[in-house]
Structure 1
Amino acid sequence: MRAIRLNEFGPAENLRYEEVATPEPGPGEVRIAVAAAGVHLLDVMLRAGEGMGPFPKPELPATLGREVAGTVDAVGVGVDPVLVGRRVVAHLGNRAGGYAEFAIIDDQALLMLPDGLPAEIAVSMVGTGRTALAILEVAGITADDIVLIPAAAGGLGTLLVQAARRVGAVVVGAAGGAAKVEAVRASGADLAVDYTVADWADRVREELAGRSVTVVLESVGGDIGRDALELLGRGGRLVTFGWSSGTAIPDLAEAAADAGVTVENPLGPRMMNRPGGIKALAEAALAAAAANELRPATTTFALPDAAAAHTALATRKTMGKVVLVP
């Protein structure tokens, strides 16, 4: 089969489209003919040789990619052969291997694809969608809230904008550049602003006309994250789940205490140990997409162009979830 291989840590160009042995499913495993594979910022870090939290640097050579959708192609011993030919989606976890024509996964990790749901949508929801639902569980957004979402044109941000609007909240979406701002507006945000403009926070204050932001769903960090925190009124909630800028919000604990706001992180142990587990979140995310309640935006690249996908994602030139397709 053909797969994207990383033989040496470093720049995106180190991702090579190569011929490798087709994997065989072992006991309790299935092989998926991959129709779509998700690309994540975590993959960019791992490619560069940077581990993150529970995700250590992979052993080389490696095939990255933790989210796949496709069709069961073969099954191992102990797996019901009726699965062959079924459309499925799965999160591969630390096993990875999604950037390939075929991927192996434990049969217990499989989720059946709802009828009519495209593979690229499903692969967006099995990882990014379940994370969005975990964030929303913690945020507890209601129709009384004014919600600010930096990075609102990204894979997570697009879903969070849609979800906050569905419950009736006022939604302020921030993104970088005119095209992304327009995409945020199209996702349903009441106000869309360009956070690369120096006075973006002042514009938000002006548009809100004396009202304060009550919830921030923050994943950018750095100065943008700090500006977002300062838009919160006293008693507001900062839900933080990353820093795509490369740095955390400066002096977060002190700044939050001074502002009189609470800070919560919905990911890590909290997400992994939630009642019902994370597989239930993925099932709920797929169901929401099938019902057209949440619809992820995607930017697709052909599998051989994985290096270009990494470059575009790292330089913030993508919108929505980045997906590789055959």
Structure 2
Amino acid sequence: MRSVAQRARREPTQRRPRVASGRARPAEAGERGESASALPLSGANGLARLQGILPELRAAERRVAECLLAKPDDVVRISITELAERSQASEATVVRLSRKLGFSGFQELKIRIAQDLVAPVQQIHEDVLPTDDAATVRSKVFGATAAALASTEKVVDVRALEEAASAIHQATEVVFFAVGLSAWVAADAAQRFTKLGLATQALHDGHAQATKAALLRPGAVAVGVSHSGSTRETVRSLELARGCGATTICITSFGRSPITRFADIHLFTSARETAFRTEAMSSRVAQIAIVDTLFVLVSLKRYDQAVRNIARVREVNADKRF
């Protein structure tokens, strides 16, 4: 009969399969390993890198890569969550594949594939041509913005707007979380709601966001503004805020994206030109339109106070204008 030591030498230890946690993780929260196999950033474009590395990939990574190669036009229009669902893989696998290709994450991979697919001028605006004059450019940009507003009006849910307005009206404090180009939308929102007598602030630094979100209490409202819905800092802020019992609201363009998992109330925008730019131009206008709508709804709920506060603000700021 073999001894325990002999069996241990002859029978390699079997690794237990990793079990996914019950709670979904933010988009960029994938494993950071395997960076040694990452491709250099210079040289081949996104699609060429995918094709070249295909034979080396694990099964789940290969499914993601084949999904990207089969319909590259779609990748710039979907979130990391949607890609993971389509390829029957995890978000962590999508991030891991992106890093193997030499990118910091899925967002950078999307940008590189978009650059492969479109002419350089389309990265400025999808409908613009190099030969367009000022009048034509004006017409196309204004048209795209008007279309985004009209489309957003159709997709944003009235009940969600009412729920968000009620939560903000009753909140002990309201904090807006955003980074990048969405940060000025958050700053504008904080300025507006402050006029209504609400304790409001906007944070765009990742450390400050995490600190504040982790200290929120029930009764507070946290609003995350992210066009892609995959911005790590904003997603993490809502996750922390929700864990503390705060009501969470997201303003985003993607219905199935990481931020929606941690938001109690979803307010969606719609901007067609998202496909070919790292940050959609007209999405910011759509975000502002939602903020304006919420501001008016909350103002109506506290009408007398809103009228007094707005008049007082105008009075104290009168000497600041010529």
TM-score w.r.t. the length of structure 2 is: 0.34
- Per residue, is there more helix in 1 or in 2? 2
Structure number with greater Rg is: 2
